Structure 1
């Protein structure tokens, strides 16, 4: 009987020594449980057709972290898409081994103005800038604990880090004025202190009777802003110059909503 067991072990080509298993070697590395050695062969792990990065299928039940498979298909969409290759199950999703420990979680929030807003971006004096009610409605908010809406004018940033702040404003001079000299400076503040570029808006220079755009124009800016925890982000507009030549009204365009998107980079 002992001889039969020895023959089976030899045919399988592995050795067992002090808790180590060696395949293709009689001297398995002492620090490993399994030592596979071959000059011209590989290890073939289970091949499966995953359905998405956030789905167990075709596996089922309790999958321990570290479970490894080779995915054979393209499947899923967006962030849950998978392609052929090795995947490891980690915290309820399939991930590439190379991404473990390096995966950054990007969080963002997007806000629109209310269509009922009548805020005038052109305040009565250079010395009296005006806060803009830019955060009237929430389009989405990945983490309200980070992007805390205080009111229609302010967002509290509750985690320190670098943020990308993108503003896309649809504006209208009302009424439209031919060869208007009106202009304003629009910028973001943190705790009332300038935190972005101070960009000037210029209303359309045209004859309203010839070109029927009703004073409409667009403003866009992208700013990288470092915020400390608890700082308050706001959008502000400052009149370009005092004097009657620079009077007038600039409102949100009621036809097209404006938006601000805030992205936490790191």
Structure 2
């Protein structure tokens, strides 16, 4: 008799194991395998969350410190900032994909993916020859994610995550000649044709003339920039269209560039 009861109990336990699992709830949805609720159970007063395994990855192409056979869909929270270029990792959720043997970071869009920089130089003629890289990254107005936006020098920013970025240029300019025009473009990884549409900036001239009467020439632009490889650089290049007139940033810290990851 006792053996029969034990067999029935074991059968019921096995059936329960194969059925839906509920954590934080006594009632589970029949259509799901695992259901987690934060509603306190009887006799408790706490609310909790789901904590994923936390690992320190060294690269997107290195499975360790995870162990065992790599499985597509395995998800962890990476705690480290490591590597460089397209295999670099920054803190966040990652999942493993066996199709390319890579960790892929899950998309996260929030205020931490925004930064703004400004100029310092007011002496360099940015309407000169085939191209001048503007010092628009000289001053850091704010950078809420230094792992994502890495300042290389005054004219270069490294972006350590693939995605689509909104770049806003606000330029405070002055010139010492009339009817001048010059161009500006956003350059990704020193390749001019990544962002194909160059911006044409018409010049303006103070009819009263004279060095003391530079006419203010403000311009604002929004450009959407794809970063297809993590670690690619972003630069702003100005180039000459009408020779014979110098164009400068009018004042230090008044021309800005802001970058926001939108997806």
Length-normalised TM-score, structure 1: 0.56
| Partner residue in 1 for 2:245 | 248
| Partner residue in 2 for 1:22 | none
Residue 117 of structure 1 contacts residue 133 of structure 1 at CA under 8 Å; is this kept in 2? no
| Partner residue in 2 for 1:232 | 233
RMSD of the TM alignment (CA)? Answer: 3.3
In structure 2, the CA distance between the partners of 1:103 and 1:130, relative to structure 1 (3 Å rule), is closer
In structure 2, the CA distance between the partners of 1:113 and 1:263, relative to structure 1 (3 Å rule), is same
* 1:239 Cα deviation after fit: 0.5
Residue 188 of structure 1 contacts residue 234 of structure 1 at CA under 8 Å; is this kept in 2? yes
Residue 182 of structure 2 contacts residue 203 of structure 2 at CA under 8 Å; is this kept in 1? no
| Partner residue in 2 for 1:208 | 208
1:122 matched to 2:127 = yes
* 1:65 Cα deviation after fit: 2.0
Residue 145 of structure 1 contacts residue 158 of structure 1 at CA under 8 Å; is this kept in 2? yes
1:189 matched to 2:187 = yes
Q: Answer with 1 or 2: which has the greater Rg.
A: 1
- Look up the SS of the partner of 2:204 in the other structure: coil
Q: How many residues align?
A: 171
* 1:117 Cα deviation after fit: 3.3
C-alpha separation between the residues in 1 aligned to 2:168 and 2:117? 11
* 1:104 Cα deviation after fit: 3.5
* 1:181 Cα deviation after fit: 2.7
Length-normalised TM-score, structure 2: 0.56
Residue 112 of structure 1 contacts residue 134 of structure 1 at CA under 8 Å; is this kept in 2? yes
Residue 117 of structure 2 contacts residue 136 of structure 2 at CA under 8 Å; is this kept in 1? yes
1:110 to 97, 116, 131: 116
Structure 1 residue ranges (4+ consecutive) displaced by more than 6 angstroms after TM superposition: none
| Partner residue in 1 for 2:151 | 149
**Structure 2 unaligned residues grouped into runs of 5+:** 1-11, 13-19, 28-38, 51-105
